[in-house]
Structure 1
Amino acid sequence: MTEHAPEHVEEHLSEFSTDGHVQFRENRGLWQLTPDGRIVHAEHLAADLEGLDLTSALSSTYATFIDLNTRFKELCGAWQLRDGEPNDHSDPAYDRDVVEQLSEMHSEAKPVVGEMGEAIERLGPYSRRLDIVLGRVQQGETKMFTGVMCGSYHDAWMELHEDLILTQGIDRSAEGSF
C-alpha cells in the first residue's frame, strides 16, 4: 500500500529497472533493490536526512516504538496460534480479544508514529496506513492482521520498522529487533 497512484508507482519502477536499480522477482511477485539500487537508495536517504538531527528527531520515539514492537510481535503470535495450535479463527470471542489488544496497542502507537511523521515527512503516511488496515481487521478481515504481502497491519508495521532502521543506520542483528 502506498500513497501514490499505481500508475505513478509503475512508471517509477520501470525507470528504476531501466537504470538497473531494481528488479522484479517473478516467483515472489515483488520488486527488489539491486546492489546498485542499494547504493542509490543510501545516497537518496542521506540527502533526505541532510541537516536533520536524528537523535532529537527519533531517539525517544524509536525507543517507545521498540517497546510497542515487542507487544506487537506477541499479538501476532496470539493471532496466529492459540494454545500452541494454528488459530483457525473459529472462536469469535478469542479473535475479538486479540483484535481489541491490537486496537489498544494501536492507540498507544498512533501518537508515536505521528510524531515520527512530523519529524520526517516521509514517515507521515504510515499513521494513515495503520489506521486504515486496523479498520479492516476490526471489520473481520482476518488476513489483514498478519497476512504477508497483502497490505496487512503486519506489512505496514514491518515496513515502518525497516524504514526506521535504515533511516537511523541501525544494525538489526545488533539491536535484536527482528
Structure 2
Amino acid sequence: MTRTLLDNVNYDVLNTIALKKMAAEKAIADASGVSLGQVATALDDLESQGLVVTIGTQSLPTDDAVPALVATAATRYANLRIDPAVLEMATKFEQVNGQFLKAISSWQQVDVAGRKITNDHSDSEYDSKVLDRLDKLVSRLVQLIAVLSHQDGRFDRYAVRFIRATDLVLAGDLAYVSSPTIESVHNIWFEFHEDLLRTLGQERGE
C-alpha cells in the first residue's frame, strides 16, 4: 500500500504524539517546538487522515501512525542515515545510554547487603553522587544532539527540554529525575532514544 508522506510539521506533531502515546496541544507544542496554531491545524489534518484520534483534550496515535512516520522518515532522513558524523554520534549515544540506564537504576534502587531495595532518598550523599553522574551524562547527550541539530533543527528542542529538566532537579525538585508523569529527564531520554531509532531506521537493541 502506498502511503502519503507527511510534511515536516505534520511529521513533527505526529511523531511527538506517538512518542508520548497521548498528549494535549500545549504539550505537543512544547515538546516539538511547533507553534500552538500549527499544532491545531496539523491535528485537524492528521485526524482527517486517520492518523490520530482526539478524546477530550488528548490526542492519541492510531495504528496507522507509526507506519506513516516510518515511511516519511525513510525519505526525510535518507541523507542523514548515511552521514558519517551522524552514525558516529549514534554509536557514541549507545555508550552513553548504557551509562544512563545504570545511573537511573542507581537512583531508583540501592544495594543493601547484596540486595536491591527501593531508594528512599534518605542518603543525600549517595543521591548527590548519582545526580552528578546524571548531570554529566545529560551534558554529554546535549553535545551529541548538536550533531543531529546540524541536520534538522527540530532536535534542538531536546536540548532545551533536557536542560530545563536538569535545572529543576538541581534546584531540588527530584521528581524531574524519573517521574513517569512529567517532563522528567528519564521520560525525555526515552523519547529521544525512540526518536533517534526512527530517524535512523533502526530497531531497539536492548
TM value normalised by structure 2: 0.72
Identify unmatched segments of 5+ residues in structure 2: 1-29
* Partner secondary structure for residue 53 of structure 2: strand
- The partner residue of 2:196 within 164, 173, 177 is 164
Partner residue, 2:88: 60
Whether 1:96 and 2:124 are equivalent positions in the alignment is: no
- The partner residue of 1:33 within 56, 61, 66 is 61
**Would the alpha carbon gap of residues 56 and 96 (structure 1) be closer, same or farther in structure 2, given more than 3 Å must change?**
same
**Would the alpha carbon gap of residues 165 and 150 (structure 1) be closer, same or farther in structure 2, given more than 3 Å must change?**
same
* Partner secondary structure for residue 90 of structure 1: coil
For residues 62 and 52 of structure 1, the distance between their equivalents in structure 2, rounded to whole angstroms, comes to: 11
TM value normalised by structure 1: 0.82
* Partner secondary structure for residue 89 of structure 1: coil
C-alpha RMSD over aligned residues: 2.4
* Partner secondary structure for residue 113 of structure 1: helix
Whether 1:122 and 2:150 are equivalent positions in the alignment is: no
* Partner secondary structure for residue 64 of structure 2: helix
Deviation by residue 1:3-44 (Cα, 9 ceiling, x = unmatched):
244565355334423431023578xx9644223222322333
Matches within 5 A, 1:1-178: 1-2=30-31, 3-6=33-36, 8-24=38-54, 31-83=59-111, 84-172=116-204, 175-176=205-206
**Would the alpha carbon gap of residues 31 and 86 (structure 1) be closer, same or farther in structure 2, given more than 3 Å must change?**
farther
* Partner secondary structure for residue 183 of structure 2: coil
For residues 149 and 6 of structure 1, the distance between their equivalents in structure 2, rounded to whole angstroms, comes to: 22
- Aligned-residue identity in percent: 24
In the alignment, is the contact (CA less than 8 A) between 1:23 and 1:32 conserved in 2? yes
Q: Which has the higher contact order (CA 8 A, sep 6+)?
A: 2
* Partner secondary structure for residue 35 of structure 1: coil
Query: What is the total number of aligned residue pairs between the two structures?
Result: 172
